[in-house]
Structure 1
């Protein structure tokens, strides 16, 4: 069979170096010729963002950051940027902070320099998300792709181990979902496999030595690869389910991804043997699910949606909304019945192997 595919590589500058964030940011602001910079950072991240921005002179600080980017929060930030004639957005923080910068860029076209402090990966994609009336809407637009990403593992040292684990497994979900997403191709698969390898080595090192930089650098590198693969391949079943859980039920983003991932892998792996073999090899395991579950055990990963406020009564609505969004190209046909079984298992944290025999 001939190898036939179409692949788009997104253009983005990446600056990677521990302890170099402030230096790299000042150089980028100068290179881009920006005069009126708006820095977006949550109140919690504000002190760290102040250190990162020490070499520039922002005209505005925007600290009203909310998970899943409610439309109201986005409109406030858009108005503030317009009112101050902002010509560059700098976001310092996790996925919610990056998401707010993207919401501003979506309607204004103002370029973004992203400085991630978690392993979310949003900084490397042209995907945006907004929540309105308990519905999370996502889209793709090149205006929201940050022009530059500045990675500095020192900025992740303050991220507690449990959040590092959840955030890193969110990156792992980008890798795994990329292998069966609508635009999956061999280039995405290669990036995703290397991302799985880097994360499976980096995250245990973060847990073993939270103050060490080696594991955190590997985790950042792995999550960047994951995000690049995801940006090209698109959202698969895993992300469609998690967007519903986050947007409709306000479950925490990273923990939700970390919890749902083994159930999606168990559900799809029998119908996607090539993807499953690639995942297993990246873990250095004989079986994809066993490799993931061994890593999750080492990391003491999140295990049940019930721990984050999801209930059995919520499942029918989640199934109804998610069914319309899950790509028809998913390797295994998705029905209300088997999606209910998947969410029921994830609710209580039961063994995901039960889903392989559905």
Structure 2
């Protein structure tokens, strides 16, 4: 088969090294010539943020962070950045923190240095998201892509196992969705496959020993690959579903992705033979569904949307919101009946059916 594709690689510096975050950040601040640094970190990440920024001068710490980046939080953070004459944003935390920094960068053009403490992957994409009136809007803009990402597995050691599992499976969702997303190509499929392999190796190691730095390094590595693949391939069916659920019903981001993923995989796999084979090979199993199911069983992964506040009565509305944004490139057609069945199964935590 002849190869014919159009691939865009995003320009970003990645510094990966356990125990090196504070030194790496100081080096980057100096390299960028920043004088007025705004550090974005939630209150729960305050101690980590203080440790990471030990070697730099900080103009302002901003901790008004919330999931799904409510527009009011974004506008408040933008005002702080302007008022303090900030010339560099440093975000320390997970997807919500990175998302808020992106919202500031979208409006101001300020560069971002991201220091992730979870496996969300937002730090490696040029995708932004804002929530207003219970509706989440996403977009793509190179201004929000962090110029540098600093990965330090030591910063994830305090992340509880349950959250590590959910966050890592969010990364897995980036990988799997990238196999059939609108702009998928052989390069991001290759990155996604390696991401699946790394996450499938790293997450059980964390489950077995939460202080295992090597397991957390593998998971960070896999999360980065998953995000790079996703940034290139775009949002597939899985992400369209989860963005609606998160924005409209304020469901927790990582747990929602971790819960919905097996149902989307089971729905698409029979119609995506090449992608299914790649996913299965990355898991080292006979089928993609078997590989993900085995991993989820090992990890005691999130199982049901009802456990995270999604009410069965909300399913018809969710179907109406999701159906118009389903990508035309999805491996098989998606009807309202399909979405209702998928959401009802995910709500109850039933075994995914091919």
In the TM superposition, residue 237 of structure 1 has moved relative to its aligned partner by: 0.2
Question: Match of 1:199?
Answer: 199
**Could you tell me how far apart the structure 2 residues matched to 1:12 and 1:228 are?**
10
In the TM superposition, residue 127 of structure 1 has moved relative to its aligned partner by: 0.1
**Could you tell me how far apart the structure 1 residues matched to 2:158 and 2:323 are?**
38
**Could you tell me how far apart the structure 2 residues matched to 1:250 and 1:57 are?**
36
Higher mean displacement: 256-265 or 310-319 = 310-319
**Could you tell me how far apart the structure 2 residues matched to 1:120 and 1:143 are?**
19
**Could you tell me how far apart the structure 2 residues matched to 1:273 and 1:311 are?**
34
Superposed, which structure 2 residues align to 1:317-356 within 5 Å? 317-353=317-353, 356=354
The answer on 1:120 being equivalent to 2:120 is: yes
**Could you tell me how far apart the structure 2 residues matched to 1:84 and 1:41 are?**
17
Superposed, which structure 2 residues align to 1:269-284 within 5 Å? 269-284=269-284
The answer on 1:242 being equivalent to 2:242 is: yes
Secondary structure of the structure 2 residue equivalent to 1:45: helix
**Could you tell me how far apart the structure 2 residues matched to 1:321 and 1:31 are?**
45
Question: Match of 1:138?
Answer: 138
Question: Match of 2:100?
Answer: 100
Specify every segment of 5 or more residues in structure 1 that has no aligned partner in the other structure, as ranges.
none
**Could you tell me how far apart the structure 2 residues matched to 1:329 and 1:166 are?**
27
**Could you tell me how far apart the structure 2 residues matched to 1:188 and 1:15 are?**
21
Question: Match of 1:64?
Answer: 64
Specify every segment of 5 or more residues in structure 2 that has no aligned partner in the other structure, as ranges.
none
**Could you tell me how far apart the structure 1 residues matched to 2:52 and 2:309 are?**
35
**Could you tell me how far apart the structure 2 residues matched to 1:250 and 1:326 are?**
20
Question: Match of 1:299?
Answer: 299
**Could you tell me how far apart the structure 1 residues matched to 2:16 and 2:151 are?**
5
**Could you tell me how far apart the structure 1 residues matched to 2:79 and 2:55 are?**
26
Superposed, which structure 2 residues align to 1:152-171 within 5 Å? 152-171=152-171
**Could you tell me how far apart the structure 2 residues matched to 1:324 and 1:71 are?**
23
Show CA shifts across 1:83-110 (max 9, x none): 0110000000000000000000001000
Instruction: Please list every run of at least 4 consecutive aligned residues from structure 1 whose deviation after the TM superposition is greater than 6 angstroms.
Output: none
**Could you tell me how far apart the structure 2 residues matched to 1:277 and 1:33 are?**
47
In the TM superposition, residue 269 of structure 1 has moved relative to its aligned partner by: 0.2
In the TM superposition, residue 195 of structure 1 has moved relative to its aligned partner by: 0.1
| CA RMSD of superposed structures (Å) | 0.4
**Could you tell me how far apart the structure 2 residues matched to 1:326 and 1:174 are?**
16
Question: Match of 2:182?
Answer: 182
Question: Match of 1:82?
Answer: 82
Per the normalisation by structure 1, the TM-score is: 0.99
Per the normalisation by structure 2, the TM-score is: 1.00
The answer on 1:208 being equivalent to 2:208 is: yes
Aligned residues: 354
Question: Match of 2:49?
Answer: 49
